[in-house]
Structure 1
Amino acid sequence: MRMLFSLSIMAAIAYAALAALIFFAQSSLVYYPGSGRNVIETPDDRGLGYESVEIATSDGESLHGWFIPVPAATGTVLFFHGNAGNISHRMDYLLMFHRLGYNTLIFDYRGYGQSSGSPSESGTYLDARAAWRYLTETKEIPSTHVVLFGESLGGAVAAWLAVREKPALLVLASVFTSIPDMAAKIYPFLPVRLLSRFEYSTIDYLRTVTCPVFVAHSPQDDIVPFTHGEALYQAAPEPKQFLRLQGGHNNGFIFMREDWVEALRKFIDANLGAVP
């Protein structure tokens, strides 16, 4: 009995230690800015003309980004990348949007790439607002011609912005419903909903979004469950469309198949300028 009691105490201590680790190390589990500080290439390396931009946030950070213009562009994509890497790792997306005839503004959140500061949930929302202002005020692009495109974590940031502004539409690629929902999947044995210091509740934002929504997700996604994409689609308002991808979280990209690209193009073109 004494040995059993001792083992129980040790197990309880280990459990508490793991819970404490999860609580205090959340930021390093959510963000991977260190994996993408170095810019490995620029649009010029892929034959794309671009402007290097510095965007000031309301709290004094400086965001680095690229604006890739297209002659006689029919729309402009504001791109929100995922939690790892930086803008130089999304070159294939830039090529796709350029080929489809859309300008693109892609930027790094604070603490990523060449942007200043350290990432935080509230900080990424301020970053989104700053990028939006750059497009609609500095570049004077009508909001009804701006497409918000978010991949993974960036989808939550894009959805947050879509609630507060009036974009033409919102595109979510391989996006989770919320951080607590993701944590519950990874650590089902811990009270993660009580421990979580992050929300990024994409599904809650979608319930109050008023613009058209395009959701793309793969049943083979090995990081964000396919059920998250389905739930987001169900929560989104009409008009909306769901695109079933193939492949894992890091290789089921929309630009990898022409029929996927065509589905996205049709939805974007049908809804540009439709928001009053």
Structure 2
Amino acid sequence: MTGKRRKLYKRIFFIVTVFFLLINLILIGQAYHLTHFYEHGTVKSIEEQTGSFRNQAQVVLFGLKQEKLIGTKPDSAFSNIKLKTKDSLVLDAWLIRVAHSKGTIALFHGHGSEKSANLSQSNTFNEMGYSTILVDFRAHGQSEGNTCTIGYREAEDIKLVYDFLEKNGEKNIILYGISMGAATVTKAINDYDLAPKKIILEMPFASLNETAEGKMRMAGLPAEPLASLLTFWGGAINGFWAFNMRPKEFVKKIKCPVLLQWGRQDKGVSGAEINEIFKNISSTKKLVVYEKSGHENLCENEPEKWEGNIDAFLEQ
């Protein structure tokens, strides 16, 4: 090998190494801000963070700072419930009781959201004769904590709600989750052998790596190896192996009837993911696809279809 060729190879190696390190630094920043939420009112609004070219560049390089959202309270009477995790974080929840209740449905929101985002679903469940409990996951809404593991440790939050209902004499517990909430329900079943009467899952991701691939697709970027790197760093900076967050495997332990729902226009969770999840559910199951909806509140976007399918599932 000539000296000139050796220098060329060294230069190429140097450029590739620097590029690889830069990509990883960017993804570390993105992973951090996907899994960390600031207290309400302590960060600039999304508009301010992206209001100029310079700010947009900072968001691309370091990530968007997200704050805990504080929504509106229920119109109906509710009890404010406090639950404590093993790490002494206090979770905030609302319990809405109805007369002659048929059971209690526990509602779990998506990533970056909070419990009032599920009030439309809760109101419908109440009208159908079910009490409801809505909880803010750790690091969300009015619950304590600032670190979100996108379902991995939040499975304990679901167990706390389930245990609370059982201790208060509820015999008919139904779990409802949307997006991250749905994925977390599957992990809680897997980890704690919970035995709800029924489960409603809306738009759960098949695995954390696949949801990272979805984020890359929505950003117009190549899914791999960027998604795997984002998944790795998301777990590494928070002390867990993120590749083990696999709802498509967790659903195999479900023993009760399951209603799985998904919007055809969903850009984040693919049809292939939903089909794999559905295939792996061995209990009684039904899949409903909403043709006009994406990764959004199906109850609000296609209310008549949603209410009809929910009512039929709950009454069967």
- Shorter chain as normaliser: what TM range? 0.7 to 0.9
How far apart are residue 79 of structure 1 and its match? 1.0
1:72 aligns with 2:77: no
Deviates more, 1:6-15 or 1:160-169: 6-15
Deviations 1:67-118 (A, max 9, x none): 1111111121111110012112222112121122111111111121111123
Aligned length: 264
How far apart are residue 217 of structure 1 and its match? 0.6
Deviates more, 1:120-129 or 1:75-84: 120-129
How far apart are residue 33 of structure 1 and its match? 6.4
Match of 1:242 in 2: 287
Paired with 1:213 and 1:41, the residues of 2 have a C-alpha distance of: 30
Paired letter, 2:116: S
Deviations 1:171-227 (A, max 9, x none): 110110010122244232337178252243111110122111111011210221122
Please say if residues 32 and 83 of structure 1, whose CA atoms lie closer than 8 Å, have aligned partners that are also in contact.
Answer: no
5+ residue gaps, structure 2, are: 40-65, 217-222, 236-241
Match of 1:208 in 2: 253
- The equivalences for 1:99-178 within 5 A come to 99-121=127-149, 122-137=152-167, 139-142=168-171, 145-163=172-190, 164-178=193-207
Identity %: 19
How far apart are residue 30 of structure 1 and its match? 4.6
- The equivalences for 1:1-276 within 5 A come to 6=11, 9-23=14-28, 25-30=30-35, 35=66, 37-44=68-75, 48-121=76-149, 122-137=152-167, 139-142=168-171, 145-163=172-190, 164-185=193-214, 186=216, 187-190=223-226, 192=228, 195=232, 197=235, 198=242, 199-245=244-290, 246-253=292-299, 256-270=302-316
- The 1:172–1:191 alpha-carbon spacing in structure 2 relative to 1, beyond 3 Å, is closer
Paired with 1:32 and 1:111, the residues of 2 have a C-alpha distance of: 6
Scaled by the length of structure 1, what TM-score is found?
0.85
Paired letter, 1:259: K
Scaled by the length of structure 2, what TM-score is found?
0.75
Deviations 1:1-37 (A, max 9, x none): 7678646632442223213442564242256566563
Paired with 2:182 and 2:84, the residues of 1 have a C-alpha distance of: 22
- The 1:254–1:203 alpha-carbon spacing in structure 2 relative to 1, beyond 3 Å, is farther
Paired letter, 2:285: K
Deviations 1:32-71 (A, max 9, x none): 5665634231002xxx221111112233111101011111
Paired letter, 2:84: A
